Amino acid sequence: MAAVNLKLRMKSRGYNKEEISNAVFIVEEIKRRNVGNYDKFSSYLFSKICKKGAFRDTLTEGMVVLIFAYNGFDVTYLGHQQGPDLLIEGFGYRFYVEVRHYREDTITERKLFQYLDRGQLVNYGRGAEGTQKDYQILCRDILEKAKQLPEGEIGMVFVWSEDEKIGKDDFRTCRNQILNDPPNPKEKLTVEEKKQFKKVSGVLFYTRERKPLQQHNFHFFVNPLAQNSIPPDLEKRLRNLPKLKQIFQDSEKYYNSN
């Protein structure tokens, strides 16, 4: 019933067939895999249909749920409260995950097209006067997510980027900044920021980049400065984590069968 209602409501709000099929697939697959608090996830997703950005952010949380579920972990959805988005358990381990989704940067793209089409000079960037670098945005957001992770537990941030401006190079630069080796010595972390980053046991980063065409890039950073380190066996499982290709194939099969 939830899937039928979701499909009808999305259709009435102008979503295309592919978007509807993808959303219904995620909802049904989460239910089939016995994810904890399934009702909470589906209700929250349904409530965001009128706000496409928030709706897609929640769908991304659903995709992250499926990545862990496809890899044999038990997942409980905790999202949209004070605290982390997900509780992950399995293989003798328990850890918490906060999800950060970067949508396609339509504002920057519009500015770049303005330059290409009209030859007009435009400010590039998303900080004040276009001065804030993308890796700084990434580090800032990971810091914000770290505040939601519980003390005394293994905690991770899962970054899902569909933004061409936040890619693997920005992730590497952000990682170096966390390790106190920034490209610019003036950008070294403050004492408070270092303390905050110690709550982050690791960062999982996914980006789908156009060059090479539609290549799926998955990167995993283990924070050696974390208060709660990731055990070697769990680290190995997380490095081999993504079954993204399988999930996308299953979603495509679902789309073609409906």
Measured between alpha carbons, how far is 177 from 161 in angstroms, rounded to an integer? 19
Tokens 């972390």, located at residue: 189
Contacts of 242 (CB under 8 A, 6+ apart): 67, 206, 216, 218
Enter the tokens of residue 220.
């995993």
| pLDDT tens digits, one per residue of 69-118 | 999 999 999 977 789 999 999 999 999 999 999 988 655 555 555 555 55
* pLDDT reported for residue 36: 97
pLDDT of residue 127: 47
**Helices (H), ranges, the chain:** 2-12, 17-32, 38-47, 52-70, 106-118, 134-146, 168-178, 191-197, 232-239, 244-257
CA separation for the pair 17, 14 (Å, rounded): 9
Q: What gap in Å lies between CA 233 and CA 182, rounded to an integer? A: 30
**Per-residue model confidence as pLDDT tens digits over 196-219:** 899 999 999 998 765 544 556 889
The number of residues making up the chain comes to: 258
> For residues 179-204, b (16+ Cβ closer than 10 Å) or e, as one string?
eeebeeeeeebeeebeebbebbbbbb
- The token duo for 92 is 């003798």
What confidence score (pLDDT) does residue 118 get?
55
Q: What is the pLDDT of residue 141?
A: 93
Q: What is the pLDDT of residue 236?
A: 93
Model pTM score: 0.86
Q: Which of 175, 162, 150, 173 is nearest to 209 (CA)?
A: 162
Per-residue tens of pLDDT for the chain, all 258 residues: 577 889 999 999 999 998 999 999 999 999 999 999 999 999 999 999 999 999 999 999 999 999 999 999 999 999 777 899 999 999 999 999 999 999 886 555 555 555 555 555 555 454 444 456 788 889 999 999 999 999 999 999 999 998 888 888 899 988 888 887 766 666 777 888 888 899 999 999 998 765 544 556 889 999 999 999 999 999 999 988 766 677 878 888 877 787
